[in-house]
Chain A
C-alpha cells in the first residue's frame, strides 16, 4: 500500500471541517449555526456543501490511502478541486460572519482550515506526479 505523504493532513482537514459543519446543522445553538444559518437559505447550502465535500474527502482517504488493494482514481485526480471548494465555502461563511460581526476572532474558525486546505492542495498536486 503506497500512501500519499499528505494523507494524514487531508484526513484531519476533512474530519475537522465536516464535523464542524455537521454539528452546526444538527445543533442550532452551536456557534457556527448561530453565525451562518441566520444569513438565509444559502447559509444552509454552504454548510451542507461542506459536509458533502468532507465526506468525499473521507471516502478518498479510505479508498486511496487506508484500505489495501482499493483505489478510487476519480477522487484522487480531482482531490484538489474538492479541497479548494471546501476552502471557498469556508471563506464564504467567514464573509457572512464578517458582515455581521466585523473583524472578529470567530473568523479564525473558518480561515485557518481554509488556509490549511489550500496549502495541502498545492503540495498534494505536485507530490502526486513526482514519481
Chain B
C-alpha cells in the first residue's frame, strides 16, 4: 500500500476543510456589508429562525423514525451498518430543504402559519429525498443472510 507523507496529508486535510467551511465567513461578511449599506434582504426574527430549525429537525427525525420502524418491522434486531451516515442523511436533507423553504417563505412575506407549514413540508420531502439517494448508493442495514 502506498504511504502518504504525513505533513502533506495534514495540509491536504486543512485545505479540504477550509474549502468546506468557507461558506461561514463568506455569509458573515456578505451580511455585514449588506447591513452596513442598509439593504438586508430579509428581516430574520431569531426566535422564528429557532422555531423553523426545530420544525426542520422534527421533520427529519420523523422521516428517520419511520424508516427505522420499517427496517425493524421487516427484520427485527437487524444492525444498522452506518448509523451515523444514516442519521446524517435524513437530518442534512431536512435542514437544507428547511432552510431553503424558510428563506423562500420570508422573502415572499408569507403568513407565519403558511411559512412554517412550508418549512415542515419541504424539510420532510428533503429528508425523504436524501434518504432515497443515500440508500441507493450506500447500504445502511444488513438483512439476515446477506454476506455484505
Contacts and interface: CB of A to CB of B under 8 A. Distances in A.
A15 interface: no
A64 interface: no
B113 A102 contact: no
B113 A122 contact: no
Interface string B83-103: 000000000000000000000
A122 to B, nearest CB: 7
A102 B49 CA distance: 11
Contacts of A84: 58, 61-62, 65
Interface residues of B, number: 27
B83 to A, nearest CB: 12
Contact of B68 (A43, A118, A125): A125
A80 B62 CA distance: 8
Secondary structure at chain A's binding surface: helix, strand, loop or mixed? helix
23 contacts: A40-B113, A43-B113, A77-B69, A81-B62, A85-B62, A91-B54, A95-B48, A95-B52, A95-B116, A96-B112, A96-B116, A102-B47, A111-B54, A114-B58, A118-B58, A118-B61, A121-B65, A125-B68, A125-B72, A128-B72, A129-B73, A129-B76, A129-B77
Contact of A122 (B52, B65, B117): B65
Q: Which of under 10, 10 to 19, 20 to 34, or 35 or more describes the interface residues of A?
A: 20 to 34
B43 interface: no
Nearest to A88: B58
B66 interface: yes
B125 interface: no
Interface in B57-71: 58-59, 61-62, 65-66, 68-69
B120 interface: yes
A112 B85 CA distance: 28
Interface string A52-92: 00000000000000000000000001001100110110011
Contact of A77 (B48, B73, B120): B73
Interface in A13-63: 39-40, 42-43
A82 to B, nearest CB: 11
B51 A94 contact: yes
B55 interface: yes
B72 A87 contact: no
Given A91-B55, A92-B117, A125-B72, A99 B112 contact: yes
